[in-house]
Amino acid sequence: QLQLVESGGGLVQPGGSLRLSCAASGLPLDHYAIGWFRQAPGKEHEGVACIASTDDVTYYVDSVKGRFTISRDNAQNTVYLQMSSLEPEDTAVYYCAADYLPIQAACFVRRDRYIYWGQGAQVTVSS
């Protein structure tokens, strides 16, 4: 069983930055693609970014391209989401999730692929 815990959320002004962390325990993270998803009040769950288990292949949804960067440190069993130039529209609960895809240079932000989920971290962008 893989446990995921997000941290690093908080309140930030528009234009500011935050770094979310997703710490894994229970199993090695290196067999899993990791995705970040978010859900804003009254809106559907949205896939934001993902990183493959191999070759650091990444994918970003158009709304965050150039502003968000996903990275992983398998030695620390942690995945990060660096968020810059934050906008009020980025306000949401952010979740990390794991998709079992060993030795695959690909990842997908389809929610139904992901079998392990963290509890979420609130990100609020407001002046």
Beta bridge partners of 124: 11
- At residue 78, what is the residue type? T
The string of pLDDT tens digits covering residues 3-52 is 999 999 999 999 999 999 999 999 888 899 999 999 998 999 999 999 99
Neighbours of 94 (CB within 10 A): 23
Neighbours of 122 (CB within 10 A): 12
pLDDT class of 104 with cuts at 50, 70, 90: confident
pLDDT of residue 44: 92
pLDDT beyond 90 at 114: yes
List CB contacts of 5: < 8 A, sequence separation 6 or more: 22, 23, 25, 118, 119
Calculated CA dihedral for residues 12, 17, 23, 28, nearest 10 degrees = 160
Residue with more model confidence, 104 or 16: 16
